[in-house]
């Protein structure tokens, strides 16, 4: 049996699946229940000066009959007293000493406040601290959250406030609401961060009710920007994660967040650099029970790949994510579409998509169910295979033309 246990920045966990800071980690009841179900760790809902939330506070995008493809929230940090949170954190850690318990924190940018609070969290028995520099709504208007994570100087300074006052591992949670996430990440490392977690939610307005003309979510006819998460954000998270893993200035472990719903999602995050993953929206949607499929699926995948432990996945694919200039151009490598007549159902979607949205290289011969690709005109854009409803009906087959350094040729011509 492969070993699913991990050591992340000095924090031990029976598996790499943690619950992310959010509504589902707000109480000891929830976290204890999650640990009983099999979650390896949890990040406690952000502790700070208690706030009053709004109602309603969640909105979602459904797509193609699927509920909550994307989730928006305008909820803020914990609305419970700090003392209550710390007491419950202590209770959880006493009962579950082998599970990872990290406390998310957010306070005003004052050194003595941070020094005092990280010491109180350390006294609670928590395994680590996560600095919430990513919340894009509500707290950012108060000088906290994303407003810190968007300014590298602020990120470095406040990270140092925390790291200089505790011996616990300090994880900095980064906001995706920046032009280049590498700069605040590098600043956090300079401030002494032991690890980085990403991504936090994306700034968004969820939508409009076309009957009432109220924004969504609806707070007595008013709305606001909120944080966007769920399966729809996964590609953005993977891009930012891999960019940090490949950055030579980032030498600390990475924790992946953003749209993780299955063991497959988790494996992708790990292959692109995450040592541990956090799950939020999926657990809110389907309940803590999803962990059994996630651990079983990852275990089976490791067996299939002949790997001894979960950590063997980390970063194996990240070096293959480079700049556009690193890609082979079509003069040296190309794929072309092939349609399997035996699988084709004659829906004509590939013909329409190619003719209207791509390169007009698929014909529909008269009296023939299956379309035909004019291979000599196909540029290998993939659109036909993406719209095809039948698995493996359209494949993209490589045509290797031999390596030609056309990028350098073009650069030379331009000069």
Q: Which residues are the active-site residues? A: 135
174, 133 Cβ separation under 8 angstroms: yes
Separation CA 149–CA 157 (nearest Å): 11
Nearest CA among 156, 97, 106 for reference residue 130: 106
Give the separation between CA 335 and CA 294, rounded to whole angstroms. 34
Closest CA to 102 of 230, 184, 12: 12
| CA distances to 49, 119, 171 from 142, in Å | 12, 24, 22
Is the Cβ–Cβ distance between 12 and 100 less than 8 Å?
Answer: yes
Calpha distance 227→138 (Å, rounded)? 10
Through-space distance between the first and last CA atoms of the chain, rounded to whole angstroms: 58
Distance CA 167, CA 9 (A): 12
């Amino acid at each position: 049996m492969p070993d699913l246990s991990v050591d992340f920045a000095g924090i031990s966990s029976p598996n790499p699946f943690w619950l992310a800071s959010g509504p589902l980690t707000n109480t000891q009841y929830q976290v204890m229940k999650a640990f009983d179900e099999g979650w390896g760790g949890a990040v406690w809902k952000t502790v700070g000066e208690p706030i009053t939330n709004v109602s309603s506070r969640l909105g979602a995008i459904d797509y193609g009959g699927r509920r909550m493809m994307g989730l928006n929230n305008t909820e803020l940090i914990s609305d419970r007293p700090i003392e209550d949170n710390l007491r419950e954190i202590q209770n959880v850690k006493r009962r579950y000493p082998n599970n990872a318990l990290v406390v998310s924190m957010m306070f005003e940018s004052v050194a003595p406040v941070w020094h005092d609070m990280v010491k109180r969290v350390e006294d609670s028995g928590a395994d680590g601290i996560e600095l919430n520099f990513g919340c894009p709504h509500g707290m950012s208007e108060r000088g906290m959250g994303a407003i810190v994570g968007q300014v590298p100087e602020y990120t470095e300074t406040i990270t140092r406030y925390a790291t200089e006052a505790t011996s616990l591992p300090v994880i900095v949670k980064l906001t995706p609401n920046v032009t280049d996430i590498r700069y605040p990440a590098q600043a956090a490392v300079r401030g002494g961060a032991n690890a980085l977690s990403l991504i936090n939610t994306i700034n968004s307005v969820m939508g409009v009710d076309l009957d009432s003309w109220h924004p969504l979510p609806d707070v007595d006819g008013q709305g606001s920007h909120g944080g966007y998460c769920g399966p729809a954000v996964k590609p953005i998270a993977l891009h930012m994660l891999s960019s940090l893993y490949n950055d030579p200035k980032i030498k600390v472990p990475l924790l992946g967040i953003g749209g993780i719903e299955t063991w497959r999602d988790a494996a992708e995050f790990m292959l692109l650099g995450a040592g541990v993953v956090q799950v939020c929206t999926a657990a809110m949607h389907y309940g803590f029970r999803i962990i059994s499929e996630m651990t079983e699926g990852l275990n089976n995948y490791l067996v299939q790949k002949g790997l001894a432990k979960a950590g063997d996945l980390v970063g194996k694919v990240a070096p293959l994510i480079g700049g556009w200039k690193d890609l082979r151009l079509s003069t040296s490598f190309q794929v072309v579409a092939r349609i399997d007549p035996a699988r084709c159902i004659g829906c004509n979607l590939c013909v329409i998509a190619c003719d209207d949205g791509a390169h007009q290289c698929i014909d529909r011969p008269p009296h023939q169910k299956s379309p035909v690709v004019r291979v000599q005109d196909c540029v290998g854009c993939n659109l036909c295979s993406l719209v095809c409803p039948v698995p493996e009906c359209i494949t993209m087959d490589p045509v290797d033309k031999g390596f030609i350094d056309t990028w350098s040729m073009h650069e030379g011509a331009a000069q």
